[in-house]
Amino acid sequence: MADLIAQLRSGLPETAVQTDPDVLESYRYDRAHFCPAGVPAAVVLPQSTEQVQHVLRVASAHRVPVVPQGARSGLSGGANAVDGCIVLSLTKMRRILEINPVDRLCVVEPGVINAELSRAVAEHGLFYPPDPSSWEMCTIGGNIATNSGGLCCVKYGVTAQYVLGLEVVLASGEVLRTGRRTVKGVAGYDLTHLFVGSEGTLGVVTQATLALRPAPKPPLTMAALFPTTRAAGAAVTAIIGSGHVPSLLEIMDNTTIRAVNEVKDLGLPVDAAALLIAQSDADDPAAHIAELARLCRENGADEVVEASNATESHMLLEARRLSLVAFERLGTTLIDDVAVPRSRMVDLMDGVAKIADKHEVMIGVLGHAGDGNMHPTVVFDQHDADAARRAQEAYGEIMELGLRLGGTITGEHGVGILKRPWLLQELSPVSQRVHAAIKRALDPLGILNPGKMLEHA
């Protein structure tokens, strides 16, 4: 162990290798505090690709696990430490190396904060769409590791769609460059997207070339209240099925509306079954949201509000933004992340209500209706052992319901430690074997983020 630390220090600046017990403790967890986490041997904060290579070479020589970390804002334990590991925090590699308006791309280091990048490219009239809720704190490297989504995915897609190329340090310490700076390219296998979403189990991203879009028009917002979730679902079906592409389409159920009301009085009626919020950044956003509002009314909305400016738009979205905070005030939260085909969203919401009844737990459903990606959130008292058990059971049954409806256990949060048991239900034995073969091909010693996704520690 002393040998490991000495070798790490031999190729890194003095302050880059931390072994103080308090520091080690503070890097053990991402936001999945209920998942197991070990105590690292060291926390390393490299500032260059060469330094990352050094860390991986030392780790390979000692066969010591490496757990890459960004902002540790993940929700699935994918960045939780394992005992004796090197925590490799990429937060000091946070330079924006290039923003190029003609090629519509940027080149960044992994520790750049999502919101910083968004603001930097906006100054050039450009737009980096992926916008996870944690965008003010999460890093681009973490976004790539989990293929993060966000609110704008319904129109603009997820992180993967914007990753043109990567620089990756492999387990061996070698540098692999994938992809390219061009919009198109088919020379060789698509290694880029093999690393996107691989949760740090195949390599460590040290640089990313990201595609950008022209800045969209400022959006306008509408909100519609429905007497039943089925009516809200019918409105979503009508909107998507008739070819509309809103830039945001979110849903909150009655439980979520009530929870938000307890935090802040936004005038939401406590008896509404569902609130649908839509935005449009089309050429004529007012005309577009008027059309979306019409479809909501036709499908049974009791009340529809159309914002006429940015301030009103912001207010309408506030309920959605407050949802998780509202749940956290009521208890401990287990946030599901199932995605189902859009046509099955109402079946998912109805099924979740039944699961809540069966286990006598509170489950609020909110999510990205336009993508069928829902976040049913189980709220419970963690000091009540029976309640915690019932919450866990409900949490798992929601994933099983998502799979039965033709969906997936995770739309954007990743598998990490939390969803490993259910991943084995989603992936066939053949797929599991292919995953293992690819893992072995890239990380034969198994040192990269063991115990995450399909890997065992």
Binding to its own copies (CB under 8 A): which residues in 116-175?
A: 125, 146-147, 149, 153-154, 158, 160-161, 170, 174-175
Phi, psi of 368 (to 5 degrees): -90, 85
Q: What is the residue whose two structure tokens read 């996704």?
A: 453
Question: Under the criterion CB under 8 A, does residue 412 sit at the interface with its own copies?
Answer: yes
Size of the site for its own copies (CB under 8 A): 85
The 312-351 site mask, x for binding its own copies (CB under 8 A), equals ---------------------------xxxxx--------
Of residues 360 through 379, those in contact with its own copies by CB under 8 A are 368, 371-373
Q: Cβ closer to its own copies: 270 or 441?
A: 441
3-state secondary structure of 274: strand
Asked if 103 interacts with its own copies (CB under 8 A), we say: yes
Given the complex with its own copies, which of 284 and 303 has the nearer CB atom? 284
Verify binding: residue 442, its own copies, rule CB under 8 A.
yes
Locus of tokens 């509002």? 293
- Least separation in angstroms between residue 46's CB and its own copies is 19
Between 3 and 284, CB nearer to its own copies: 284
Expressed in percent and rounded to 5, the helix, strand and coil fractions of the chain are 40, 20, 40
Q: Does 359 participate in binding its own copies (rule CB under 8 A)?
A: no
Output b/e per residue, 243-280; b: 16+ Cβ within 10 A: ebebbbbbbbbbbbbbbbbebeeeebeeebbbbbbbbb
Shortest distance, position 5 Cβ to its own copies, whole Å: 28
Residue 330 or 366 with smaller CB distance to its own copies: 366
The site string for its own copies over 244-263 (x = CB under 8 A, - otherwise) reads xx------------------
Q: Are the C-beta atoms of residues 219 and 206 closer than 8 Å to each other?
A: no
List binders of its own copies among 204-223 (CB under 8 A).
Answer: 214-215
CA distances from 383 to 174, 288, 332 (A): 47, 48, 9
| 97 is an interface residue for its own copies by CB under 8 A | no
Element (H, E) at 165: strand 163-169
Determine if 456 is a binding residue for its own copies (CB under 8 A).
no
Which residues make beta-bridge pairs with 375?
none
Q: Alpha carbon of 253 to those of 36, 39, 379: distances in Å? A: 31, 40, 14
Residue 82 Cα distances to 385, 450, 456, angstroms: 26, 8, 11
284 is a contact residue toward its own copies (CB under 8 A): yes
Residue 243 binds its own copies (CB under 8 A): yes
Tell me whether residue 2 or residue 437 sits nearer to its own copies (CB atom): 437
